[in-house]
Structure 1
Amino acid sequence: MTERVLYLMICGAGPADHIDVAITQAQDRGWSVYCVATPAAVEHFLDLDKLEHLTGHPVRTGYQRQGQPALPKPDAVIVAPATYNTINKWAAGIADTYVLTQLAELTGLGVPIAVLPFVNTALAANLVLHRSIDALRASEVTVLFGDGGFQPHPPRHGGRVMADYPWHVVLDSVD
C-alpha cells in the first residue's frame, strides 16, 4: 500500500495544544503526518520534540535549509487550527511566513486542502473573514466553517470549547 502523506499546517490558537489528537486520528486513518507550524504556534503552543517523536518527522518551521530533507509531495493538507490572521492573509495572497508560502503554492497546484478555523464570534462577525472564506472556497479549498464545521465561540471562552474541537470533521473531509 502506498503511503498517504498529510501536511498538518498548525497555527497559533488554543487547539494547537491538543494537536496530538489530530495526529493520532490521522495516523489511525493511515496517514503519514508532516507538521508545518507558524511562528505563533511554535512560540506559544507546540512541543516540537514531542511532535517529532509522535510523527517520526521533524516539524518544519521554516524554509528548507541545505542538507535538510525535502518534504514529500502531499496527498492532502489540513490547516488547523486556522486563525483569523492566517485565513485572511492566505486569501489576500500574503505569503510572509513559510506556512503561508506553502499554502499559496499548494492551492495553486490543486492539492486538496481543508481548513478548520478557530475564531471567536467577534472575529467571525467581521466581513473580511467571510470574504476570505469565500475566496478560499472559490479556489476549491474546503473551509469547514458554520453548519457541519467549526462554530465560533464567545470571546475569551475558547478554553471551554477545546474538548469539542472537531478534528474528525476535517479529517473526514480529506479522507
Structure 2
Amino acid sequence: MTVPTAPDKKPFLYVVVCASGVAPGVGELVTAAQEANWDVGVVATPRGLGFIDAEAVEALTGYPIRSAWRSPGEPRPLPPPDAIAVAPATFNTINKWAAGISDTLALGILCEAYGMGVPTVALPYLNSAQAAHPAYRQSLDRLRSMGVLIGSSAHHPPTADGAADRFRWEEALELLAPVVGTAG
C-alpha cells in the first residue's frame, strides 16, 4: 500500500512510546523518520511520558506529545496517522493491545488502527522472564495475525536494563518502508 499524499504533504507517523529504559532515546526514531521524509507526532502511555524529555521531543517534532484523551470539542492536535510505530513496545502494552483493551489514549489509538487499516509496527523491549510468559507469545501471534509488523527483540535479564545497545529504533522505518512506500 502506498500512502496517498498531496505532492507537498509528508506522510504522518505516530510514534507510540511506552515506559521503558530505552524510551529516552525516542528522538533517534523521530530524527530518522524526519530524515526519511515523515512528519512525526509522539503519543506516550501515561507512564511512558515520565521516561522521555517531553520538551525536547515536542521541539523536535513541532507537535505536542499526546498522552491523555482530549475533551469533546477540543481540536485534534495531531493529523491522522499514515503509519504507527510502537517503540519501545512493552510487555504490558503488547498484551493489552492484543486483548483489545483500550484504557489509555495510546492503546485506544492502537486498537482503532487495526480497524482503520493503518500500517503498524511494534519494536518490543522487555526482559527475558516477561518474554517467556505464554500470554506474550500469544499476544505477538494475535498482533501478527492483525497485520502488525513485529520487530526483533533484544531481551535482557529481569534484573537489568540490558540490551539497550541492541535496540534498533530505525528498524521501525525499515519494516514500514515496503508497506507504506516510503524511503526507509
Same fold (TM over 0.5): yes
CA contact (8 A) 1:64 1:70 kept: no
Structure 2 contact 63–78 (Cα < 8 Å) conserved: no
Distance 1:69 1:104 in 2: 18
Aligned residues: 169
Residue aligning to 1:162: 164
- Which residue of 62, 69, 72 corresponds with 1:56? 62
Secondary structure of the equivalent of 1:156?
Answer: coil
Q: Which has the higher helix share?
A: 1
**Contact 2:89–2:124 (CA<8 Å) still a contact in 1?**
yes
- Cross-structure match for 2:131: 124
Unaligned runs of 5+ in 1: none
- CA-to-aligned-CA distance 1:54-112 (integer Å, 9 cap, x gap): 10111011112344434212111000100000000011111111111111001111110
8 Å contact from structure 1 (residues 121, 152) kept in 2: yes
Cα distance 1:50–1:68, how it changes in 2: closer, same or farther (>3 A)?
Answer: farther
- Identical pairs, percent: 40
- 5+ long unaligned stretches in structure 2: 1-6, 178-184
1:99 aligns with 2:102: no
Aligned-pair distance for 1:16?
0.6
> TM-score, normalised on structure 1?
0.91
Amino acid at match of 1:118: Y
Q: Please, what is the CA RMSD of the aligned residues? A: 1.3
User: SS where residue 167 of structure 1 aligns?
Assistant: coil
Return the alpha-carbon distance in structure 2 between the equivalents of residues 67 and 126 of structure 1: 40
2:92 to 85, 91, 104: 85
Letter aligned with residue 59 of structure 1: I
Q: Which amino acid aligns with 2:36?
A: R
Secondary structure of the 1:14 match is coil
